Amino acid sequence: MLDYNVRKSNIYVLIVIISSLLLKYFIAPQMAGLNLSLQFLLVFPEILLFLVSAIIYFLITKEPILPTLRLKKIPFKTILIAVGIGICSQPIAILLSLLSQLIFPNNVTQLLKMMNEIPFIYKLIIIAGVPALCEEIFARGVALKGYDDVHIVKASLMNGLIFGIMHLNGQQFLYAFVLGTLFAYMVRVTGSIFTSMIAHFTVNGIQVSMAEIAVKVSELSVKFGETSGQQVPQMGELGLNSLPLNTILLAIISYSMLACLGGGGIYLLLRSLKKTHSFNEKGINETKKVKVFDRYMIILLILFIISIAADLILG
C-alpha cells in the first residue's frame, strides 16, 4: 500500500537531493571563482538545501512546525545519553570510514586540511554545529515525519539510507547510513529531534577536536625539538584516513575491536533511553503495510549511484 505521507516525504527528499546535485556539479564550480570565503562555501549549501528547503516545505504544505520537527523538550538524563551515544558511535564511524576509503577517496581529509587556518571555534560551528541543526531538520525532522506510520526499525533504516545518500559521497555513505539509522531510532524513541541533534554534534565535534589536538601536539613536538627538521602536519593530513594501506588495514583491525565496545555501549544506552521514555518497541506495529520504496526513492537511488560513479570516473 502506498502511503501518502511516505510519498510526500520521499518527493521532498528527492527534490532536495536533485538540488544538491545541481549545486555540486553546476553551481559550486561557478562559485569557486568568486573568491568567496571557505566558511561561506561550507555553510551556505547547508542552510540553503536543508534549512531553507524545510521552510519552503512548511509554507507549501501548511504542516505544523512543532510536531513535524518534534521540537520537544528532553530531560537532562536524555541529554547525557545522547552525548554518550555520540561518543560510543565514534569508533564505529571511524571503522566504516576506513572501510569505505579502500574504494573511495576521502574528500573530508582534504577539506580539513583547507580549514587548518580557521580558528577552532569556527571549525566547531561549521563542521558540528551547522550540520547538527540543518541536516537534522531535513533528515530527522521533515523526512522522518512522513514515516510515522511505518514500524520504527523500517523507518529508521530508510531514514539512514536517506541520510547516507544526502552526503553524495561514497566515502561518507556507509557511516552516514549507520549513524542516520541510529539517530532516527533515537528520535522515534524519545519523540524529540533534540536527541539526534546532540548526538550529531557530539560525533562531529569529537572529530574536529581530535584533529585540532593532534595538530597542537605536533606543533609542540617540533617546538621542543622532538621532531626537529620535520614539517608540522596540517589538520587534514592527520588521522588514519591519510595513512598507507598497510597501516589502514592495521587500524581497521584495531577499530573493529573498539567498534564492538562502542556497539555494546550504544546497546546499553538505548535500553536506558527506552526505559527513560517508557518506550516499548514490541507493542508498536504498523497499522497497515506501508510501501516505502516507491518510484521516487528508486529515482533517488539511481541518481546517487550515477553521482558516485561519475566521481570515481572523473577522480
pLDDT per residue of the chain (315 residues) written in tens, 0 to 9: 668 899 999 999 999 999 999 999 999 888 877 888 889 989 999 999 999 999 999 999 999 999 999 999 999 999 999 999 999 999 999 999 989 988 888 777 777 777 888 899 999 999 999 999 999 999 999 999 999 999 999 999 999 999 999 999 998 999 999 999 999 999 999 999 999 999 999 999 998 998 888 777 777 776 776 554 444 444 333 344 456 678 778 888 999 999 999 999 999 999 999 999 999 776 555 556 778 899 999 999 999 999 999 988 886
What are 188-217's pLDDT values in tens digits?
Answer: 999 999 999 999 999 999 989 988 887 777
What are 47-67's pLDDT values in tens digits?
Answer: 999 999 999 999 999 999 999
In 245-272, which positions are buried (b, 16+ CB within 10 angstroms) versus exposed (e)?
eeebeebbeebeeebeebeebbeebbeb
Q: Which positions ≥6 away from 250 have C-beta within 8 Å?
A: none
Q: Closest Cα partner for 161 from 293, 42, 34?
A: 293
| Amino acid at residue number 86 | G
pTM higher than 0.85? yes
SS3 content of the chain, % helix, strand, coil (to 5): 80, 0, 20
2 DSSP β-pair partners:
291
Q: Which positions ≥6 away from 39 have C-beta within 8 Å?
A: 118, 122, 126
- What does the block give as the cell for 16? 532536495
**In the chain, what percentage of residues exceed pLDDT 70?**
90
CB burial of residue 194 (10 Å; 0-12, 13-18, 19+): buried
113 touches 236 (CB < 8 A): yes
